[in-house]
């Protein structure tokens, strides 16, 4: 541990650290409009420290606050965070219960700051299955921030992309059956309006932490042309310099959307 620390310190001293990213390296005129993040690695972060998994989730919640602030400061317009998937119910009850308490704790602590920062809170997911206490907390945040017109903080909570697509298809079929639209009117753009992200632009940049390189049923339709950035950093260790690093890399890429 000591050795690791001194190695890092030396690297930083000579200015070669990969993580040595600052806001000065960003082109503030081309900040991604919409950033989506799969916040992964809370459990491993805790395990490495001999702590219960919940400690990792709690630390992860604090990082959410820091990244929301940093994103807002540099002009990100939409930040979508994958907080709980439709598959996460399979975890031990104690962990699920804890994860369902986090939105309350987060919003109970930080909602006044989010209001002051003009952030609009939203939730994308099946809210019907959330415990009443979680639902109350998120509904209050949505209500209290609904007139804010700054950054949208979109929590994917009890979200699953396949579920979202199936629900969209069911509604689309209902609308064709009741004559609201004809089959020929169905286009990609129209179908996007049947998704939970209907009025949001598609993510420009997807970040996933913790070294896992997969989508885990997250925004499968919306990420079709997004830039992906993966890092080994565990979510509780993620901070704004990693966010800047991801954006700097995004700004070096050429997006062709299938063209040349």
Binding-site sequence positions for substrate: 41-45, 53, 57, 85-87, 89, 91, 208, 214-216
Residues contacting ligand FPP: total by CB under 6 A: 19
Shortest Å distance, C-beta 42 to ligand FPP: 4
Is there binding between residue 61 and ligand FPP (CB under 6 A)? yes
**Segment (H or E) for 126:** none
The rounded distance, in Å, linking the Cα atoms of 225 and 81 is: 18
Shortest Å distance, C-beta 211 to ligand FPP: 9
Task: Provide CB contacts within 8 A for 72, sequence distance 6+.
Answer: 79, 117, 119, 150, 151
User: Has 154 been annotated as catalytic?
Assistant: no
Q: Give the chain's length.
A: 260
User: Has 184 been annotated as catalytic?
Assistant: no
Shortest Å distance, C-beta 103 to ligand FPP: 5
Region for residue 103 given its phi and psi (left: phi exceeds 0; alpha: psi -120 to 50; beta: otherwise): alpha
- How many beta carbons lie within 10 A of that of residue 64, not counting itself? 21
Stretch that binds ligand FPP, among 37-45, 190-198, 216-224, 242-250 (CB under 6 A): 37-45
Rule CB under 6 A: choose which of 34, 36, 37, 60 binds ligand FPP: 60
Q: Which of 40, 23, 58, 3 is nearest to 210 (CA)?
A: 40
Shortest Å distance, C-beta 224 to ligand FPP: 24
Rule CB under 6 A: choose which of 83, 100, 121, 233 binds ligand FPP: 83
| Annotation: binding site | 40-45, 53, 57, 85-87, 89, 91, 208, 214-216, 227
Q: What letters, b where the CB count within 10 A reaches 16 and e where it falls short, cover 206-229?
A: bbbbbeeeeeebbbebbbeebbbb
The three-point CA angle 251-257-260 to 5° equals 95
| Contacting ligand FPP within 167-206 (CB under 6 A) | none
Residues identified as active-site: 40, 88
Which residues of this chain interact with ligand FPP, rule CB under 6 A? 39-44, 57, 60-61, 64, 83, 88, 99, 102-103, 106, 155, 210, 235
């Amino acid at each position: 541990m000591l050795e690791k620390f001194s190695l890092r310190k030396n690297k930083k001293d000579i200015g070669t650290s990969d993580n040595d990213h600052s806001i000065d390296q960003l082109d503030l005129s081309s900040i991604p409009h919409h950033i989506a993040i799969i916040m992964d690695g809370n459990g491993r972060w805790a395990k490495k420290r001999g702590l219960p998994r919940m400690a990792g989730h709690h630390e992860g919640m604090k990082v959410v606050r820091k990244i929301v602030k940093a994103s807002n400061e540099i002009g990100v317009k939409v930040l979508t965070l994958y907080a709980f998937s439709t598959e996460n119910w399979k975890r031990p009850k104690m962990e699920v219960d804890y994860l369902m308490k986090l939105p309350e704790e987060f919003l109970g602590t930080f909602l006044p700051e989010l209001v002051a920062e003009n952030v609009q809170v939203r939730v994308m997911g099946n809210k019907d299955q959330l415990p009443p206490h979680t639902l109350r907390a998120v509904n209050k945040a949505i209500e209290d921030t609904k007139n804010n017109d700054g950054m949208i903080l979109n929590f994917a909570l009890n979200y699953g992309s396949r579920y979202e697509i199936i629900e969209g298809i069911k509604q689309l079929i209902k609308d064709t059956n009741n004559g609201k639209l004809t089959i020929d009117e169905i286009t990609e753009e129209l179908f996007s309006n049947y998704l939970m992200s209907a009025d949001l632009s598609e993510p420009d940049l997807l970040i996933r932490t913790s070294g896992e390189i997969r989508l885990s049923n997250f925004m499968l339709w919306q990420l079709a042309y997004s830039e992906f950035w993966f890092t080994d950093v565990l979510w509780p260790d993620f901070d704004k310099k990693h966010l800047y690093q991801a954006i700097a890399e995004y700004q070096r890429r050429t997006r062709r959307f299938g063209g040349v």
